[in-house]
Chains A and B, each alone.
Chain A
Amino acid sequence: MYQNKKSRVLGLLAGAAAILATSSMAQAETVRVVLGYYSAATQELFEGMAKDFMEKHPGDEVKIEVIQWDNLQQRLTTDIAGGTEPDIAMIGTRWLVDYVKNDIAEPLDGYMTPEFKGAFIESFLSPSTFDGTMYGLPVAASARAMYYNKDLLAKAGVTEPPTNWDGVVDTAKKIKALGTDAYGFALQGKEIETDAYWYYSLWTHGGDLIKDGKSGVASPEAIEALTLYKSMIDQGLTEPDPSGLNRQDIERLFKQGRIGMILTGPWLRGQIKTDAPTLNYGLSPIPEGTTKATYGVTDTLMVFKSSKNKELAMKFLTETAFSPKWRIEFSTKEGFLPVMKEEAAAPVFADDPQLKAFTDMLPYARFAPPVANWEQMVDAVIAAVQKVYIGQAQPEAALKEAAATIDGLIQQ
C-alpha cells in the first residue's frame, strides 16, 4: 500500500517535471535565417555569427540556411505563399519595395538605437528606406569601376587609362590595330546585369532610368548611350557577338589577358588573385560622358512581419551580424565594400589603394530605382539592348518600345 502511494507520488513528480521541461523549452526561441550564396564562405561566416550569438543567449537558437541567388526569390515567394517564411531573409534591395507594398517586411526603426543607425554610411541606407521608414539593413554593397589590362594598353601605346568614352574608343582602336586576339572593350550582352552594363553608359551620358514618373530609357541621352555601344560593336572594338557572352564570359576573357577594358565590381579582384595572379591590371573610375556615375548595388537583411521572434531576430542583427568584428570579417572574405563607418576606417579597407577606386566613386553611385515590377523593367531593357546588339533594331526604335513597356508597368 505504502509502496503504491510512493510510486504514485513519484509519477506525479515526473509528470510535473515533464510539464516544466516543455514549458521552459517553449521559452527558448529559434530564429531562422535564409541567405543568398555569395561564395563558399557565406555559410561559414553566418554560422560563426550564430555561434557567437547563441553563446551570449544560451537556450536560443539561430538557424542558418544558404540558398543560390537564382532560386532565392522563388523560394521566398513560395514560403510566403505557404506561410512558412523564415524570420530573417537576405534579399536584393530592389525586391524590398514589393515586400513593403504587400505588408510582408517589418519596419525596423523601433528596434534600433539612433547610434546603431548612425553607424552606417548614409548613402547605403536610402535604398531600403520608404517614406522615412527603414525596412532593411544593407548587408553587402558594391560599386563598379573600370579594370584595365596595363600590359595590353602599354603595347598599344597608351600609358594612362582613358577617363572618358572618347578615350575608351580611341584606346580600343589602338588595341584592335595590334592585330592580336585581344579585344579593346568588353561588352556584356546576356543574362543577369546585361542592363547594368548599359546603365554605366546611360548614366554617364546624363540619362536617368526613371524621370518625373516616366521611363527615361528612350531619352536622347539614352539613345546616344546605346548608339555608342552599337558603334563600338560595328567597328570591332568589342568582342564579336556580345549577345552570346554573359558577365562570367567577359570576366574570363579579361582574366586571360584578352580584354583591354572591362566595367565590373570588386569581386573580380579576388578572382584575379586566384585565377590569374600574374595579370598586370589597374583600376580606374567608370569612363565619363557628360557626368560621373557608377552603379551602386546593395543587398538587404529584412525581418518578416509574420515572425514570432522579431525582438530576438533584431537582436541577432544589431548585436552580432552588424558588429564591427563580423562586418569586417564578412566584407573582406566576400569582397564587398564596407557599409558601416567603423568598418570603412579599419586598416584592411582604408589602406587598400585598389579599393579606393570603388569607394571614391560612391558619392556618384546610382541605385536601382525603388519601383515595383523592377525585374520586368530590367528584362524589357535587356531585350531592347540585345535587339540592337544583334542588329535587329535601331537604338531609338528598340528603346522606345522598352520605354512604352516600362511606362505601362509604372502605371500598373
Chain B
Amino acid sequence: MNRARTPANGKIGRASAPYLLILPSILFAFWIIGYPIYDMANMSVHAVNRFGKTAAFNDFANYQRLFSHQLFIGCLIRTLVWTVFVVGGTVLLSVPIALILNEKFFGRTLARIIIMLPWAVSLTMTGIVWRWSLNGQFGMVNATLREFGLQDTPIEWLATSTTAFPILIAIGILVSIPFTVTVILGGLSSLQADVFEAARIDGATAWQRFRYLTLPLIRPFLNIVLVLNFIYVFNSFPLIWVMTQGDPANSTDILVTWLYKLAFRYGELGIASALSIVMFVILLALTITYAALAMRNERSTA
C-alpha cells in the first residue's frame, strides 16, 4: 500500500522539485542583483545630498541636469569611440593570434603563457607602469626614442588628448587580448579536424578554409567575446583613471570616470545615480540587440 502510493506522490514532486529547490537561489540572486538597481533607480529620481540621504521626489530633475550638462554628450561619444575601438581592435588582433597559437610549433606552450601573462597583472598596475613609461621627462618611451636619435625635445604623451586617447585605446586593446585569445583558442580547439581535412582534399585554399569553415564555426565564441568585452570595456575604469584621470580638460573622460568624479569628488549623488541608470540602460539595450541579431543570424545559417 505504502509502496504503491509513493510513485504517484513522487511524480508530482519530481515535476516541481527542481523549481522548488532552485527557488531560494533565484530569489537570492534577484535580491542581490535587483536591490542595488532598485536603490539606484530610487535615488536617481529623488533629491540626494552628498552623504546619500535621500529627500523628496524631484520630478526627474537629476536626469534633466544630467542631459543638459555640458560634459555629458562629449563623454558619451568618447565612451562609444573608446568601446568600439578597443573591442574591435582586440577581436581583430586576437583572431590571428589565436590561429597562430592553435598551430603546432616549437615553443607553443611558452608563447601561450606569454600571451596570457598580462592577464595576471591588475589593470591598475598596468596603468601605473604605462604612466611611468610615457612620462615626458623621466619615461622609458622618450628615453628609448632619444637613444635612437628619433627625438630632440621630449614629448609629453599624455599632455593632450590627440596623443593620450589613442594611446589609452592601444593599451586597452593590449589588456583585453589575453581573455579574448583564451576564449577563441577554446573555440578553435573544439573544431573537428576531419572537416578541414575534407576541405583540403576538395582543394580549398587556406583563406577559403578560414573564411568559410573556421570563421562560421567559431562564431558563437566570437559572439561571447564581443558581448563580454563590450560590457567590460564600456565600464572600464582603472586604466583611464590611473593614466590621465580624464585630463586634460575632460578630453579623455569617459562616462564611468566622469561618474566617479560626480559621485565621489563632487558629491553629486543624484546626477551620478541618474548617469548609472542611463549607462545600465545603454548596455542592456545594446547587449539585447546584439544577442537578438546574433541569434537570428545563427538560426538563418543553421
Contacts and interface: CB of A to CB of B under 8 A. Distances in A.
Interface in B206-250: 245, 247-250
B249 A245 contact: no
B136 A240 contact: yes
A376 B158 CA distance: 23
Contacts of A252: 137-138
B298 interface: no
A249 interface: yes
Q: Which of B160, B247, B266 has the most CB of A within 10 A?
A: B247
Contact of B264 (A74, A190, A405): A74
Interface in B55-77: 70
Given A98-B267, A389-B248, A392-B249, A244 B50 contact: no
7 contacts: A77-B51, A77-B264, A241-B159, A245-B136, A252-B137, A373-B266, A382-B249
Contacts of B156: 240-241, 243-245
Contacts of A244: 135-136, 156-159
A298 interface: no
Interface in A51-110: 73-74, 77-78, 80-81, 98, 102, 104
Interface of B: 49-53, 70, 135-138, 153-160, 245, 247-250, 261, 264-268
B247 A191 contact: yes
Contacts of B266: 373, 375-376, 379
A102 B51 contact: yes
Contacts of B51: 77, 80-81, 102, 104
A77 B267 contact: yes
A77 B52 contact: yes
Contacts of B267: 77, 98, 375
Given A73-B265, A80-B52, A190 B248 contact: yes
B53 A386 contact: no
B50 A379 contact: no
Nearest to B159: A244
A98 B51 CA distance: 9
Given A241-B156, A383-B248, A386-B248, 14 more contacts: A77-B52, A78-B52, A81-B53, A102-B50, A102-B51, A102-B53, A190-B159, A241-B160, A244-B136, A244-B159, A245-B137, A379-B265, A386-B249, A390-B160
Identify whether the interface residues of A are mostly helix, strand, loop, or mixed. helix
A5 B249 CA distance: 83
A388 B257 CA distance: 23
Nearest to A81: B52
A214 interface: no
Contacts of A121: none
A241 B245 CA distance: 17
A141 to B, nearest CB: 24
B20 to A, nearest CB: 35
Contacts of A104: 51
B247 to A, nearest CB: 5
Contact of B153 (A191, A240, A389): A240
Contacts of A245: 136-137, 156, 159
Interface string A371-406: 001011001001110110110100000000000010
A189 interface: yes
Contacts of A158: none
A386 B154 CA distance: 19
B249 A387 contact: yes
Nearest to B154: A240
A102 B50 CA distance: 9
A375 B265 contact: yes
A390 B159 CA distance: 8
A343 interface: no
A239 interface: yes
B83 to A, nearest CB: 24
A390 B250 CA distance: 13
A253 interface: yes
Nearest to A239: B137
B49 A102 contact: yes
A191 B159 CA distance: 12
Contacts of B250: 383
Contacts of B249: 382-384, 386-387, 390, 392
Nearest 10 pairs of A and B residues by beta carbon: A244-B156, A81-B52, A244-B159, A241-B156, A241-B159, A386-B248, A383-B249, A386-B249, A80-B51, A74-B264
Interface string A183-218: 000000111000000000000000000000000000
A243 B52 contact: no
Nearest to A190: B247
Contacts of A375: 265-267
A252 B138 CA distance: 10
Contacts of B50: 77, 98, 102
A402 B52 CA distance: 27
A239 B159 CA distance: 12
A376 B266 CA distance: 6
B247 A386 contact: yes
Contacts of A379: 261, 265-266
B72 to A, nearest CB: 14
Given A240-B136, A375-B265, A390 B248 contact: yes
Nearest to B162: A390
Q: Which of B51, B153, B158, B249 has the most CB of A within 10 A?
A: B249
B159 A189 contact: yes
B58 to A, nearest CB: 13
Nearest to B245: A191
Contacts of B160: 241, 243, 390
Nearest to A388: B249
B113 to A, nearest CB: 35
Nearest to A236: B153
A387 B248 contact: yes
A73 B159 contact: no
A74 B266 CA distance: 10
Contacts of B49: 102
Nearest to A73: B264
